[in-house]
Chains A and B, each alone.
Chain A
């Protein structure tokens, strides 16, 4: 039996269903964390505690696992996300220039979300689209063969008018 979350948020129901499918096995922790992040966008402390209680795991174990893996995030993401591929092929083809361009344009560092919550700039080890290097994933859509100008053109509008 799960203890329903007091907030009454419907997303917890979906999370409960997912945990039930894994019969609340502690082994399923990573799958459950994936599901939770899908539903909520990020993992906050309350959510991690909720998972710990339901899988009957110490909170330290849940927190330890969640923080070990790069794909889990603990802060809300921006409205838009730009995921830059920083793999070797993209690196050789100038991914660093793309990174520098966006960091300057948006005035934030790789891995951060801008304070107004408009956009997040993230890095990936390799998205596996090396034939199209350098690659960025803009709001889930892969764009390849980029240069700084082309990239700026693609994210124009994320800011409202394309400038800060």
Chain B
């Protein structure tokens, strides 16, 4: 297939689209609010109104404002309705004929929508994720074709490096550099793994991307495979995301049928096959060496690095592991160029980041914002602030991250600034906490999580998290003294510096950040120090061995 043919397919698909399109969100959040019935009711209403020749109802992915689901948007005028009930379908269709609807109208000009910059989510909520034709109609797989026809693997790596894209899984390693390391390996067998084991509680960006635009991720994987010289890829996806798995399976089937994955892709010598591996509920499997173990059918325990997976990963072959969001950025970078991407964001953090906004905030859902935007803008303007009062803290990075106090909300969002605050960018969960949230409880909550999820391989993490949890429980119960807090801090230091993998190394972060910004809450729970024991001269000296 040539570019012209691919474009022809896209044009044909566009020509077949009806002038008025009613889009209904069918991502997991809205589905659980009965959006399937809404979609059916809308389809029926269109038929009843006799508009079927120029109106179509299509199921799409996430439209972002999850708290108002099920969401429905009407093209081309863009009117959006929230909390739609199947009973309101007829009146929504009626508006196309000049009628009125009692459905709740969502202002698409509010900051939540207006301030977003869409790259990763540009097709999300616009196309039907279960049809490859829809993806082709928005230029899908043209980047892959361009890469195969016009670029050498080195040029692809070089483009990614120039774009300044950094890993969106949390650590922020430069993507182009990682690709370059693997491309240089002489091995004949290499692998690409898409890490979709989105384990951080409170993060649902990767789920949404996979449910809304799965082909974008597959295209990114194929481009990566071409750049590094791999012929086999895996998507490692959480078992808790059945819909994402279902849509990935559909996408893979369609891509193989269309010949954009498989052997001799676009009649080139490039072969690439992708398989899905389903996780089974282990947070530690987000760590790359544990993830590799899990794909090999073993317990997901990390191993010491080096050697890094870039040298010796899956079945000892050089392995590229990228997060879903990272891979979703690849195709637009190829299409629009590295310079375009590098023009967005800050000096060291380029492009956009998708955050999952949740907790005590008015507008919950997904926001994609340019790097460098302030936290205040995200939570107060776009998120609409806290419904119950003032914002106390914002938690980023899940159990590996920290709580950022309200006083630091003017910090720009980039990898370095968040690390300096004692938190991390993380995968993108952003949970807003208000005055009703007790910070010591939050620290205990995360420590319980890390304690349960510790794989048990190294002692500092296995035993340290348990001891830290017990200390925190004592503090919450009001039984602890200042000495316990001192011990907690000492343990934090020990676990952070001596654990084998990221889980243990970052487990103390929630404790350290709450101690740093909310120490008075700890102090308020402490018992007064016991009086010093009276000096006694009846101590028995311990025998000292002399050699």
Chain A neighbourhood of B179, CB < 8 A: none
Cβ contacts A103-146/B at 8 Å (1 or 0 each): 00000000000000000000011111111110100000111100
Contact B202 A126 (CB under 8 A): yes
Check B334 for interface membership: any CB of A closer than 8 A: no
Chosen A-B contacts, 23 in total, with CB atoms closer than 8 Å, are A27-B297, A29-B298, A30-B277, A30-B278, A34-B278, A34-B280, A65-B298, A69-B281, A71-B239, A88-B429, A89-B364, A92-B437, A125-B201, A126-B200, A126-B240, A128-B28, A128-B203, A129-B29, A130-B66, A131-B69, A131-B204, A131-B365, A142-B32
Enumerate B15-71 residues with CB–CB distance to A below 8 Å.
28-29, 31-33, 66-67, 69
B297 touches A88 (CB 8 A): no
A31, A88, A127, A129: the one contacting B395 at CB < 8 Å is A88
Chain B positions 397-428 with a Cβ under 8 Å from a chain A Cβ: 398
With A and B bound together, what is the CA distance between A86 and B240 in angstroms?
13
**CA of A81 to CA of B298 in the docked complex: distance in angstroms?**
28
Contact A64 B299 (CB under 8 A): yes
Kindly state whether residue B166 has any CB partner on chain A within 8 Å.
Answer: no
- Which 5 pairs between the two chains have the least Cβ-Cβ distance? A131-B66, A87-B201, A142-B32, A69-B280, A70-B281
**Chain B residue contacts of A131, Cβ below 8 A:** 29, 66-67, 69, 204, 356, 358, 364-365
Cross-chain contact A68 with B202 (CB below 8 angstroms)? no
Contact with A along B223-244 (1 / 0, CB 8 A): 0000000000000001111000
Residue of A nearest to B240 (CB): A127
How far does the Cβ of B546 sit from chain A's closest Cβ, in whole Å? 49
Bitwise, B455-466 to A at CB < 8 A (1) or not (0) is: 100000000000
Contact residues of B between 235 and 283, Cβ < 8 Å to A: 238-241, 277-283
A137 shortest CB reach to chain B, Å: 9
From the candidates A25, A64, A71, A89, name the one contacting B281 in the complex (CB within 8 A). A71
B331 within 8 A of partner (CB): no
Q: In the complex the two chains form, is A71's CB within 8 Å of B280's CB?
A: yes
- In the complex, the answer to whether B282 meets A69 with C-beta atoms within 8 Å is yes
Chain A residues with Cβ below 8 Å from B66 are 129-132
The digit string for B274-302, where 1 denotes a CB below 8 A from any CB of A, is 00011111110000000000111111100
A contact residues around B200 at 8 Å (CB): 126
Cβ 8 A contact of B32, one of A33, A130, A144: A144
> Are A34 and B239 in contact, with the CB atoms below 8 A?
yes
Interface positions of A (Cβ within 8 A of B): 25-31, 33-34, 61, 64-65, 68-72, 86-89, 91-93, 124-133, 135, 141-144
What residues on A are CB-neighbors of B300 within 8 Å?
68-69
Considering the chains assembled together, what is the distance between the CA atoms of A33 and B294 in angstroms? 13
Set of chain A residues within 8 Å of B239, measured between Cβ atoms = 34, 71
Task: Give the distance in Å from the alpha carbon of A30 to the alpha carbon of B202 in the complex.
Answer: 26
Q: Which of B277, B278, B297 contacts A26 (CB 8 A)?
A: B297
**B113 touches A (CB below 8 Å):** no
When distances are taken between beta carbons in the complex, the residues of chain B under 8 Å from A91 are 201, 442, 445
- Please give, as numbers and ranges, the residues of chain A lying within 8 Å of B398 by CB-CB distance: 88
Give me the interface of B with A, judged by CB distance under 8 Å.
Answer: 28-29, 31-33, 66-67, 69, 198-204, 207, 238-241, 277-283, 294-300, 356, 358-360, 364-365, 395, 398, 429, 431-433, 437, 442, 445-446, 449, 453, 455
* Most chain B beta-carbon contacts within 10 A, residue among A126, A141, A143: A126
A30-B277, A31-B278, A34-B239 known; A132 vs B67 contact (CB < 8 Å): yes
Do B358 and A133 touch (CB < 8 A)?
Answer: yes
User: A34-B239, A87-B202 in contact; A93/B359 too (CB < 8 A)?
Assistant: yes
Judging by beta carbons under 8 Å apart, are B296 and A27 in contact?
A: yes
Are B277 and A128 within 8 A (Cβ)? no
Distance to closest chain B CB from A11 (angstroms): 19
Given A27-B297, A70-B280, A71-B281, A93 contacting B29 (CB threshold 8 A): no
| From B278, B280, B455, residue with most partner A Cβ within 10 Å | B280
Q: In the docked arrangement, what's the CA distance between A126 and B429, Å? A: 12
CA of A25 to CA of B295, assembled, Å: 12
Q: Closest residue of chain B to A26, judged by CB?
A: B297
Closest to A137 in B: B32
Question: Are A141 and B32 in contact (CB-based, < 8 A)?
Answer: yes
Determine the residue in chain B with the shortest Cβ distance to A91.
B445
Taking the nearest CB of chain A, how far is it from the CB of B317, in angstroms? 13
A72, B283: Cα distance in complex, Å:
14
Bound: A33/B359 CA distance, A = 35
A147 to chain B, nearest CB (A): 14
CB pair B69–A132 under 8 Å, yes or no, is yes
Q: How far is the CB of B62 from chain A (nearest CB, A)?
A: 9
The 8 Å CB contact of A128, one of B240, B282, B360, is: B240
A87 to B282, CA, bound (A): 14
Which residue in chain A gives the minimum CB-CB distance to B198? A128
14 additional A-B pairs beyond A26-B297, A125-B201, beta carbons within 8 Å, are A27-B296, A29-B298, A30-B278, A65-B299, A71-B240, A88-B358, A88-B359, A93-B360, A125-B199, A126-B200, A128-B240, A130-B364, A131-B356, A143-B32
A-chain residues with CB within 8 Å of residue B238 when the two chains form the complex: 128
> Which chain A residues border B445 with CB–CB below 8 Å?
88, 91
* Closest chain B CB from A1 CB (angstroms): 21
Q: How far is the CA of A121 from the CA of B133 in the complex (A)?
A: 42
Q: Which residue of A lies closest to B453 (CB)?
A: A125
Contacts of B295 in A (CB 8 A): 27
Contact assessment for B365 and A133 in the assembled complex, using a CB-CB cutoff below 8 Å: no
CB pair A129 B280 closer than 8 Å: no
Beta-carbon nearest neighbor of B363 in chain A? A131
Which residues of B lie under 8 Å from residue A69 when comparing CB positions?
279-282, 300
Considering the chains assembled together, what is the distance between the CA atoms of A27 and B297 in angstroms? 4
Given A132-B32, A144-B32, A144-B33, check contact A88 B431 (CB 8 Å): yes
